[in-house]
Amino acid sequence: MTVLATSIPGSSNNGYVAAAYIVFFAIILIYVAIMALRLTRVERSLRELDEREQHARQEETHQTRERETV
């Protein structure tokens, strides 16, 4: 990192400043990525829930129809 730092014109400490700010943004980005993963999981379970509800409703209408015919 010190090689990087001294290669940038201006100051030998550029590398450290850049590293600090990069770490900051990296943390934010990692957090956003984790939240995105969780969101996809939530969406998937929502879809499953919808399917299950539809299935349950279909079952109910089948059952009521059967009862009517009997």
Is 37 a binding residue for another protein by CB under 8 A? The answer is: no
Is 35 a binding residue for another protein by CB under 8 A? The answer is: yes
Is 45 a binding residue for another protein by CB under 8 A? The answer is: yes
Q: Residue 2 and residue 54: Cα distance in Å, rounded? A: 62
Query: Which of helix, strand or coil describes residue 56?
Result: helix
Max Cα-Cα span within the chain = 90
Contacting residue, 6, 7, 11, 63, with another protein by CB under 8 A: 11
Cβ distance to another protein smaller for residue 57 or 65: 57
Show Cβ contacts of residue 19 under 8 Å, excluding neighbours closer than 6 positions.
1
Contacting residue, 33, 49, 58, 65, with another protein by CB under 8 A: 49
